[in-house]
Amino acid sequence: MQNSSALVLTVAERIDDKGDIMRLTLTGEGPLPEVAAGAHIDLLVETPEGPIWRQYSLAGDPADRTQWQLGILKDPDSRGGSVALHQLVKAGETVHVEGPRNHFPLAQADHTVLFGGGIGVTPMLAMAWELHAKGADFTLHYATRSAERCAFADVLPGLPFADNVVLYHDDAQKLDLDAVMPAPNPTTHVYVCGPQGFMDWVIAHAEASGHATDHVHREYFSADVDASGDSFDVECAQSGLTVTVGPDDTIAKALAREGLKIEVKCEEGICGTCVTDVLEGEIDHRDQFLTEDEREDNDQICACCSRGRGKLVLDI
């Protein structure tokens, strides 16, 4: 995982692409921090309700430290971050960034299969760049609703790994998982990113085909999370603070009111910023960030959305 740092970067280019996707090229005064495929940055977004942080995957060549490339979907159902960016960001302006962070790295594999649905193609492009540089065996399956909503279509034919990319459009040739899902193998890994329904479909198919859970890698851009539930108590072992988290409250908000702040960014349990160590108690996981193995360990919680069944003791 790369360490995060605060940066002020310049929007060198803005392209309004198909599918309501805005492509940004960000540059700095010198070389940008080193990144690996799967990394994302936290971007500060000014909204009418105040500043918020949102996470966006890096889509360009990870070896190119002169620029970072983003693809940002204008999602009318989002909580305002993407819409505000589409309205406000202009070429030549500066943006505040933290990162990079990487919770979605490539594993060592003899064969890698990448599935990108819509805006979920952004981290897959970075992975394709890195795999190509290594001379690795891979295929990128990129699915969109139609050719008219296929972002990056202008650059795909010119990529050095263009022959490894297969396009699918729902109104023409649809993605057929039965035909393209590889056979399970200890040296084969599957990666998926995109809308939650697309991801759930690919993940379920991969696991039903026999792929081990830890060989099916996923990154959610957003998630429908229900953070409500029965009240429970949280004890903070280091500070000695104890709070009650109400039915419509979260751990992070309840602690913040008492002066103990846990850093929160996505508020949907997808970015991992708020992960906190748990010393005692049963966790009711609501996030999409922790793996099944990490959940079974019962020693970490996403404080922005997950809850406790009874009392939890946190290592803070």
Q: Quickly list DSSP for the chain.
A: -PPPEEEEEEEEEEEEEGGGEEEEEEE-SSPPPP--TT-EEEEEEEETTEEEEEEEEB-S-TT-TT-EEEEEE--TTSSSHHHHHHHH--TT-EEEEEEEE-SSPPPP-SEEEEEEEGGGHHHHHHHHHHHHHHT-EEEEEEEES-GGG-TTTTTGGGSTTGGGEEEEETTSS---HHHHSPPP-TTEEEEEEESHHHHHHHHHHHHHTT--GGGEEEEES--------S-EEEEETTT--EEEE-TT--HHHHHHHTT-----SSSSS-S-TTEEEEEEEEEE---SSS-HHHHHHT-EEETTT-EEEEEEEE--
Instruction: Give the integer Cα–Cα distance in Å for 303 and 251.
Output: 5
pLDDT at 166: 98
168's tokens: 């699918």
Which residues on neighbouring strands pair with residue 219, listed in sequence order? 193
pLDDT at 78: 67
pLDDT at 75: 83
Regions of the chain where pLDDT drops below 70: 1-4, 78-80, 222-224
pLDDT at 223: 64
List domains and CATH numbers for the chain. Answer: 5-101 (2.40.30.10), 111-220 (3.40.50.80), 232-314 (3.10.20.30)
pTM recorded for the entire structure: 0.82
Residue 90, phi then psi, degrees to nearest 5? -130, 150
pLDDT at 56: 93
Instruction: Give the integer Cα–Cα distance in Å for 154 and 163.
Output: 15
14's tokens: 């803005």
